[in-house]
């Protein structure tokens, strides 16, 4: 175990971020990273991720690669289990804070600028936006079909290469969060102004990437 890289995370259940040295290998020296979590029933997360794998295989049979990231997740006991760490990824909330500070919620270009900073070469940036559009479309369909709720910028993540993906599937099949008996979630899936800005759709203008997203 690489103790200097292990930590207690800041979220409510205080999960553990654990890093392990890999077995000697000529192909990879990347540490093995897991999040050890207690207090949540990860069997539901496992079900959603397994369903995402099935959906992805169906799409790929139709020559449609939507760049999903069905990360590893396993329940090891009652309300206890482990989740695979996706490398080089951050929550949308963290991205907004890093490129907007206190006013990040009012900026639509924070995500775009963050992605651009990760790939300074224009050709690579185009490929990054392409992955973003595909993965955003895939997860919009998946979260809608599976009725996944409690979607906010702390449980939607993005990699340096533009792959958007969702985490934390505590509310599925239409079991959405309510406050004082009122449904807090009205939209069928998450498609925020900062997502549209990455696709080039600003103030309702035409965008080739947005057209591809809809198709």
Tens of pLDDT, residues 16-50? 999 988 777 656 677 889 999 998 889 999 999 99
Strands (DSSP E) found in 85-198: 89-91, 156-159, 164-166, 178-179, 182-183
What pLDDT band is residue 200 in, cutting at 50, 70 and 90?
A: confident
Question: Residues of the chain with pLDDT > 70: what percent?
Answer: 87
- Of 23-37, 81-95, 98-112, 147-161, the least confident: 98-112
Angle at 83 between CA 147 and CA 154, to 5 degrees: 55
> Is residue 68 over pLDDT 90?
yes
Q: Is 0.95 surpassed by the pTM of this model?
A: no
Place of tokens 């997502």: 195
Structural class in CATH, domain 88-214: mainly alpha
Q: Is the pLDDT assigned to residue 177 strictly greater than 80?
A: no
């Amino acid at each position: 175990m690489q103790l200097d890289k292990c930590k207690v995370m800041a979220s409510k259940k205080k999960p553990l971020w654990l890093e392990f040295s890999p077995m000697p290998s000529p192909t990879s020296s990347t540490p093995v990273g897991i999040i050890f979590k207690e207090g949540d029933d990860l069997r539901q997360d496992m079900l959603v991720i397994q369903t995402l794998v099935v959906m992805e295989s169906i799409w790929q049979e139709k020559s449609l690669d939507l760049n999903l990231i069905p990360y590893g997740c396993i329940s090891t006991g009652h309300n206890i289990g482990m989740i695979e760490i996706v490398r080089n990824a951050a929550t949308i909330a963290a991205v907004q804070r890093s490129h907007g500070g206190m006013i990040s919620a009012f900026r639509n270009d924070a995500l775009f600028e963050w992605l651009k900073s990760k790939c300074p070469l224009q050709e690579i940036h185009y490929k990054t936006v392409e992955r973003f559009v595909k993965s955003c479309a895939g997860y919009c369909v998946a979260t809608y079909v599976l009725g996944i709720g409690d979607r906010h910028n702390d449980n939607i993540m993005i990699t340096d290469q533009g792959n958007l993906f969702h985490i934390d599937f505590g509310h599925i099949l239409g079991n959405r969060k309510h406050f004082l008996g009122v449904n807090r979630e009205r939209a069928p899936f998450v498609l925020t102004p900062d997502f549209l800005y990455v696709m080039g759709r600003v103030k309702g203008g035409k965008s080739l990437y947005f057209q591809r997203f809809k198709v």
